[in-house]
Structure 1
Amino acid sequence: MPVFTRLRQQPDTDTTTEGTSPEAGPESPDETAPTRVTLRKRLADWRTGHPTAVRNTQWTITILAAALVIGALLLPNRIGALQTDRFTRIPVEAIIGAAVALALPRRPRIAVAVLSGVALGAMTILNFLDMGFWEYLGRAFNLVLDWELLPDAQSYVADSMGKAVATVATVGLIVLVVLLLTVMALAMVRLSNVLARNKQAATRGTLAATVVWVLCSALGLQIMGVPIASDRTAGALAIQARRVRDTLRDEAAFQQVAKVDKFGNTPPDQLVPDLRGKDMIFTFIESYGRSAIEDPVEAPGVDATLDARTKALAKAGFHAKSGWLTSATYGGSSWLGHSTTMSGLWIDNQQRYRTVMASNHLSLTKAFAKTNAWDTVGIMPGVQKSWPESKFYGLDKYRNAFQMGYKGPKFSWSTMPDQYALEQFQKLEHSKKRSKPLMSLVILTSSHQPWAPIPKMVPWNELGDGSIFNAIQKAGNNPSDIIASSPKSQAEYGKSVQYSVTALTQWLERYGNDNTVLVFLGDHQPIARVSGNHASRDVPISIVAKDPKVLDKINSWNWTDGLRPAHNAPVWKMSAFRDRFLTAYGSTPHPKKG
């Protein structure tokens, strides 16, 4: 007789068999029986004994699966569209999916359910990526080009919030992606099985839903302005496919565009002859956008700073004219703004950027190098690795974050305060005796998000190796406190722009001379959390010089006097600046046609 049966026939007693120790013998029946019953049998017994609980659990799982699938089918791709009314619609994809599940035999049905679940999970991930890109870059995620930006996003989180937070966030996102794909597939299988088990009722329900959807679509019925009949996922899939197609077509088309250059064959002696002998400085201020000058929150402080610095420069003999450029990027990807300004081409994605960087297209800074009348240098405090782009920009050399002797703290993403970078530019390059004037490309970083902590101006002669900023950095705001609040982000962004403008113009007062010409501008607007969901892509640009002839050359541009462009000052596309600048300062067009 099996042991289990024999044990159950023994009387219920605590005594042991003679000669057998309690440790060596079997345990009591009440203790040993559960350990020998299989999990399947225990589950079957529980189901038999608790039919109501089983039924309720099954219904709960089915309802959750349906809610997950319907929610994914209706999920918008912008944070601002996450409203309740978006999820009260009838998705046609669900009706089609039900019809397919009812028509297929078991094995094909399960296979289709798994594949469609994974596909729906992938579309959900793309919708979340779209939300992030719209929030931070003012555009949707590009399925072909934007994967390489994700490591940059991780680096930004590490610089702003710490490496531990970045690591946890990365691992968490990977787990969530795998979990979403898995759960979505299981939910689709669950729903297909429910439909198959209740085929007659499911068929009637599917036909009814089809009739309702067609009527709602044909009549244009809406709830609070939102159509009841939805094809959200099908439409999103079509948009993604079209975006991929357009991206691939754009690559070939832009390669031809980049070969055409109005000044590509201009002889060196016919490039910028009216600026010979001038020390030229082209400077980009991070995230310096129109919002800084016109938004009700940021503008009062920034405008007061621009006006004060205009007066201070005038007292030192410098004058300025300012206008607007429409940037090729928004919220980030600063290098697209830099390359658009300098190339005269519209560089609004990573593919175009790679194409132009690999070309011999004439950049504005390279035009100065081509004349052989200037030494050229780049000051790149934000560069922390090799930078092959220096060849495109025509730079004899450049100094990155590790080549300026900085021993102070980082300010979130920014490797060093702008004031320190400018002082090192003066010591290492600008102050050196040369046989030629200097053309410099300077990329400032202190106004980079998350705008916490922000450096403060210190006496120029006390900058030293940057250690003076330790106390300022420790006393500054915590990035996590600023990132979580739109009002705080707006206020701190404005302060960061004030700091960068002050550092740059004080440097000009301190070290500029009669032959110094400064061109400075923003690379893009700040993110939507600061500039708003409907902000323009305009950035301010100023040209500053002591020599009145320099500004006289651009009188026809109708720019505003001073550092603050008027609201109605001319607005050009950023890609138009190179040719207008070269023309204004005497360059003769000799087109290259590719």
Structure 2
Amino acid sequence: MVTVLACALLWVVLVLPDAVDGLSLGAFLRVPVEGLLVVALLLVLPARARRPVALLLGMALSLVVLLKTLDLGFSAVLDRRFHEFYDWSYVGLGYAVLRVWVGPTGARVALVAVVVAAAVTVSLLVPATLRVQKVVASHPRTTARVLGAAGVVWVLGALTGLQVAGTPVASAATARLVSDHAVSLVEDSRAGTSFARAIDDDPFADAGEDLLAGLEGKDVLLVFVESYGRAALTEPTIAPGVTAVLESGTEELGEAGFSARSAYLTSPTFGGSSWLPHATLQTGLWTDNQARYDQLLAADRLTLTSAFGQAGWDTSFVLPAVRTGWPEGQAFYGFDELVGGDDLGYRGPELGWGAIPDQYTLSEVRRTLLDQTDRRPVMAQVDLVSSHLPWPPPPPLVGWDEVGDGSVFGCMPGCGRDPAQLEGMAHVRERYGESVRYVLRTLTSFVASHPDPDLVVVLLGDHQPWTFVTGPGPGHDVPVTIISADPEVLDRVDGWAWSEGMRPADDAPVWRMDAFRDRFLTAFSGRGP
């Protein structure tokens, strides 16, 4: 029985998938070629070398389990593989998110469980490998026969493509996993040099005096909506409500004199790390990991914000979730003023991850930026965070003249509710859809309730929500919309062939997010016809 359990444990480790969409019964019915090679190695080694080699193999398999576990977690949350070179910072971020999702006690329990699981894995895998080595040494002929039979099954499976429950019988998944991680580690370690060249190669580094002349006199808001991904328009349980809000929003804007054009951008990240798509859109550089982001912030690159600043706009970053100063961000992006959560003067209850509801944030944008007299045009990046996980119930909209200092939200549903006390995973899509609808209704009402012919809004998502909302294989696309009351503004993007209205068509253009900066600056620079 001990021998059977040892073999079964090694088998499971070698066939364990490294991505969530690979978890199935068929995955555990495969024949791992790595197991055959390990047994063959132990069979041919001299007797005195078998035990040390088995010990090393057991420790190596422990590292394989760690890699597969990290890959599974990253595939579930970020829809990609773990990268050893720059992803360790996500451990702390993941724990912080877990504290929000399950509470401090639940997060501590989960952390202890992970540590215990790692210790148990090592304590079981090494003895299991030694046990297999002992069996191989004691029964070489029987081992050779079993190995030969299993090898025939693997070869036939590889040649014929034989499958069980939709999964190929012949597996080399662990070997590919180790190879892929080794290759990516080498590539990631060398990527900094090529990214530095991309930073320096900026077609707009020496922009002329007609930079952004097509938006002269306009107030421009670059509005990021947290977790607003394509899944909001395609996932069957979410899409009907969200698309209805987009269609009614298009009508509401039209009645106020505004028009909209929409399409999709492919975000460099998934499920989180909003600062990466922010940097990608602002700089025109594909910033898909923390190493690139850190390298970028230490460099000199024209951002959309600094371009507006050079062209004569007053520039701001409105970041309600930021509670401290950000001098390195101000130096890089070039904004004149950072408006953080503590600067917004919010006196209401904490609602959701960002604490401040988006209606209050937009109300302050109008009061402190747009409604000021004797000023230059304003360009501001505004982050709307009410749609950030864990998606507690958003407050209903109130009249814009009732927002005040936010105290009005004290009597709203969800007030004082612990975000961790949610209804369970069965309702997560419903809660996500509700939060996205709230943000879109709020933004539409903000524009339409005070129609300003000189207001231009670029509205877009930063990334898709987690896979437990989107389902497997959702892609990285996010909706993007330009809203303006000036036909000349929309005429400049007519060649983009974007869909009319706030809802992008299924076949609307899809750009990588790093293409937006250059196309935007090209469209709106120069005096036009």
- TM above 0.5, yes or no, is yes
CA contact (8 A) 2:225 2:383 kept: yes
Alpha-carbon shift at residue 533 of structure 1 (Å): 1.6
Q: Tell me whether 158-167 or 437-446 shows the greater mean CA deviation.
A: 158-167
Confirm or deny: 8 A CA contact 2:393 2:434 kept in the other structure: no
Q: With structure 2 as the length reference, what TM-score do the two structures score?
A: 0.92
Q: Distance in 1 between matches of 2:442 and 2:173?
A: 49
Distance 2:95 2:180 in 1: 27
Aligned-pair distance for 1:582?
A: 0.9
The one-letter amino acid of 2:494's match is N
Q: Would the aligned equivalents of 1:412 and 1:479 in 2 still touch at CA under 8 Å? A: no
Residue in 2 that maps onto 1:402: 342
1:237 alignment partner, one of 152, 167, 178: 178
- Matching residue within 470, 488, 512 for 1:549: 488
1:249 aligns with 2:190: yes
Match for residue 379 of structure 2 among 439, 443, 464: 439
Q: CA RMSD in A?
A: 2.4
Counterpart of 1:418 (choices 342, 358, 363) is: 358
Amino acid at match of 2:356: M
For residue 304 of structure 1, report the CA deviation from its aligned partner: 1.7
Q: 1:44 matched to which residue of 2?
A: none
Partner residue in 2 for 1:68: 9
What residue number does 2:110 align with?
169
SS in 1 for 2:342: coil
Q: Is the 8 A contact 2:349 2:416 kept in 1?
A: no
1:131 corresponds to 2:75: no
Could you tell me how far apart the structure 2 residues matched to 1:284 and 1:308 are? 20
Unpaired stretches in structure 2, ≥5 consecutive residues: none
2:32 counterpart of 1:97? no
Relative distance call for 1:111 and 1:299 in structure 2 (3 A) is: same
- Please give the alpha-carbon distance, in whole angstroms, between the structure 1 residues aligned to 2:100 and 2:158: 49
Please say if 1:311 is aligned against 2:287: no
1:195 is displaced (CA, Å) by 2.8
TM-superposed CA distance for 1:221, in Å, is 4.3
Partner Cα distance (2:113, 2:102) in 1: 15
* 1:360-399 alignment runs, 5 A limit: 360-371=300-311, 373-387=312-326, 388-399=328-339
Cα 1:207/1:293, change in 2 over 3 Å: closer
- 1:265-344 superposed matches below 5 A: 265-267=206-208, 269-344=209-284
Q: Distance in 2 between matches of 1:483 and 1:356?
A: 39
**1:76–1:127 CA contact under 8 A, matched in 2:** yes
Residues matched between the structures, number: 525
Residue 99 of structure 2 contacts residue 106 of structure 2 at CA under 8 Å; is this kept in 1? yes
Query: How far apart in 2 are the matches of 1:503 and 1:175?
Result: 46
- The aligned counterpart of 2:100 is 159
Q: Which amino acid aligns with 1:228?
A: V
1:185 to 2:134 alignment: no
Deviation at 1:351, TM superposition (A): 2.1
For the residue of structure 1 that corresponds to 2:236, the secondary structure is coil
CA drift of 1:385 comes to 4.3
Tell me which moved more, 385-394 or 567-576: 385-394
Is the deviation greater in 309-318 or in 232-241? 309-318
Contact 2:351 2:415 in 1 (8 A): no
The equivalent position to 1:507 in structure 2, one of 443, 446, 453, is: 446
Greater shift in the superposed pair: 454-463 or 284-293: 454-463
Question: What's the TM-score, normalizing by structure 1?
Answer: 0.82
Mark the structure with the bigger radius of gyration.
Answer: 1
CA pair 469-105 structure 1, distance change in 2 beyond 3 A? farther
Q: Give 1:462's aligned residue.
A: 402
2:290 pairs with 1:350: yes
- In the alignment, residue 523 of structure 1 is paired with which amino acid? D
Structure 2 residue matching 1:351: 3-state secondary structure = helix
1:529 corresponding residue in structure 2: 468
* Residues 477-516 of structure 1 mapped to structure 2, 5 A cutoff: 479=420, 481=422, 484-485=425-426, 488-516=427-455
The answer to whether the 8 A contact 2:313-2:379 is kept is yes
Q: Percent sequence identity over matched residues?
A: 39
1:584 aligns to 2:486 (yes or no): no
Q: Residue 453 of structure 1 contacts residue 478 of structure 1 at CA under 8 Å; is this kept in 2?
A: no
Secondary structure at the aligned position of 1:473 is classed as: coil
- Return closer, same or farther for 1:221/1:506 CA change in 2, 3 Å cut-off: closer
Q: Deviations over 1:545-582 (max 9, x none)?
A: 22222222222222222222222322222221111111
CA distance in 2, matches of 1:412, 1:529: 19
Aligned to 1:359: 299
8 Å contact kept, 2:32–2:172: yes
